[in-house]
Chain A
Amino acid sequence: MVKFYDREFSSRLLIGTALYPSPKIMQDAIRASGSQIVTVSLRRESAGGKTGDAFWSLIRELDVTVLPNTAGCKTVREAVTTAKLARELFGTPWVKLEVIADNDTLQPDVVGLVEAATILIKDGFEVFPYCTDDLGVALRLVDAGCKVVMPWAAPIGSAKGIVNRDGLRLLRDRLPDITLVVDAGLGAPSHAAQALELGYDAVLLNTAIAKADDPVAMANAFRLGVEAGRTAYQAGLMEARDFASPSTPVVGTPFWHAVS
């Protein structure tokens, strides 16, 4: 089981709800992923519009826990207000906190992130901060009261997989009691498996599933990748080494010592 604040879940795959070819495929992909937590956003509704209601009824049919995000927020003020709107709208203290520094890379503004997290936690929120793999930032987020930290693997939607493996490993080593989620940049189920093999508690992704040729099949593949990675972590992976070590026994090799 994986713990997010005071709640426990069996699935270690958190999934986004955007970019699918159709609402039906979104629902089928989420079901195939086995995810119990889905991310959603908040957007302006135009007059007479019912887009929000239609989307919300699709999500409610899935019987999943909702994690609202503050995607697109560039300032602490925007992010804090968006989080409060999410709490009002979804009735949850959870928020995936994003404060974005740069439009092209969607790199988190880690200074603003720590500030916004501090404000929100004092106000009773349970914050899931989207951050980089910087240990100093992660420590500040934990100091602020975050019990979940979500470093990126690579920029959002880039599908590059884990760019800074050593950085992610260091976070795991230094924050053994924090729920760590690799959020963003994963492109393949093998990337998700690598995150779990490093001891990460879960992964969060969207684009790699939603933009696959067959999102439902890919959701299933990611489910299996996460399970494989977690099982491997629990089984205990061997350390890499520089020289070969024969797996076949040497003693009794035919003609052994026969050549002078």
Chain B
Amino acid sequence: MRVTINGEAREIVATRIDALLNELEYEGSHFAIALNFDVLPKSRWAETHLKAGDEIEIITPRQGG
């Protein structure tokens, strides 16, 4: 299924967020995720189903002023 991850179109197999992180081999532990401009709390990663066209942002802490 085709979705957008961090602004890039990607073809993915996973149908849920936690599976998607595994599929993309994310290893860190400090992420926040927005699905179609809404924050998706970590507690809902396992239960949230993805659909074609979804826009997913995977965000971590970074230096800032």
Contact = CB atoms under 8 A, between A and B. Distances in A.
Interface string B21-53: 000111111111010011101100000000000
Interface string A14-39: 00111110000010000000000001
Interface residues of B, number: 26
Interface of B: 6-7, 24-32, 34, 37-39, 41-42, 57-65
Interface string A41-57: 11111111111110110
B60 A48 contact: no
B62 A85 contact: no
Contacts, number: 115
B24 A42 contact: no
Interface of A: 16-20, 26, 39-53, 55-56, 59, 68-69, 71, 77, 81, 84-90, 156, 205-207
7 contacts: A41-B62, A41-B63, A45-B59, A52-B28, A85-B59, A88-B42, A205-B65
A55 B60 CA distance: 9
A40 B34 contact: no
Contacts of A86: 32
Nearest to A70: B64
A40 B37 contact: no
A71 B37 CA distance: 17
A16 B29 CA distance: 23
Given A18-B64, A49-B60, 11 more contacts: A39-B65, A40-B61, A41-B61, A45-B28, A48-B24, A48-B25, A55-B62, A59-B61, A69-B65, A81-B39, A87-B39
B60 A71 contact: no
Given A50-B27, A56-B30, A40 B41 contact: no
B29 to A, nearest CB: 6
B31 to A, nearest CB: 7
B62 A40 contact: yes
Contacts of A18: 63-65
